[in-house]
Amino acid sequence: MQTTIFNCCYDIMEISAMYNLKIISSTVRPGRKGPVIAKWITEIARKNTEFTVELLDLGEVKLPLMDEPNHPSMQKYEHQHTKDWSAKISEADAFIFVTGEYNFGYPSPLRNALEYLVKEWGYKAAGIVSYGGVSAGTRAANSLKGDLSTLSIVPLSAAVNIPFFSKSINEDEDFEANEISLKAADAMLKELLRWTKALKPLRTGEI
């Protein structure tokens, strides 16, 4: 009987320990390939039973240029799109940002989405999946890391960087990852889980 009760409690603890992972796709232009890469990493992430995963496509979210009259740190939002965005990001325990590279940096819609909020981002870990040509989007990823840190997001060193990504997108618009990308994704997700667990006391105000 005691064993049954213990196992039941253990199962409840396991369920409650799931972490909310938001994957954010950053490009919005017509013809973009970011959603293809985002779909791939979302499918990989959903294989990890300790994460509940939601893909947020900025091309579908359609945030206008920052239009709130009050500073985001005040959280006095007037527009419904901001309130909705705040609610989505508040739910998260961790992030994966999927970014292309535009003029050696990450896309402006992602910067706009980041700047809408302040407190909602804090004390959460983030992995980055970048894609591009020969640089594999690494210059965009490095620029993004610096900006994430200012929002008290912890950007991981473990990342996925995909060079010449278009060569791996098939006729069905699916990304066919090679062994290098698959191993990198696995390593990033394992590291993301470790940091998400470690940062939980800061997110919940326990310390």
pLDDT tens sequence for the chain (207 residues): 444 443 444 344 444 459 999 999 999 999 999 999 999 999 999 999 999 999 999 999 999 999 999 999 999 999 999 999 999 999 999 999 999 999 999 999 999 999 999 999 999 999 999 999 999 999 999 999 999 999 999 999 999 999 999 999 999 999 999 999 999 999 999 999 999 999 999 998 877
**CATH number of domain containing 26:** 3.40.50.360
Domain membership flag for residue 12: no
Domain membership flag for residue 110: yes
Which domain, by its residues, includes 80?
18-204
Rounded to two decimals, the pTM is: 0.90
pLDDT for the residue 6: 39
- What is the domain count for the chain? 1
Domain membership flag for residue 4: no
- Per-residue 3-state assignment (H helix, E strand, C coil) for the chain: CHHHHHHHHHHHHHHHCCEEEEEEECCCCCCCCHHHHHHHHHHHHCCCCCEEEEEEEHHHHCCCCCCCCCCHHHCCCCCHHHHHHHHHHHHCCEEEEEECCECCECCHHHHHHHHCCCHHHCCEEEEEEEEECCCCCHHHHHHHHHHHHHCCEEECCCCEEEECHHHHECCCCCECCCHHHHHHHHHHHHHHHHHHHHHHHHHHCCC
pLDDT for the residue 5: 43
Domain membership flag for residue 7: no
pLDDT for the residue 7: 46
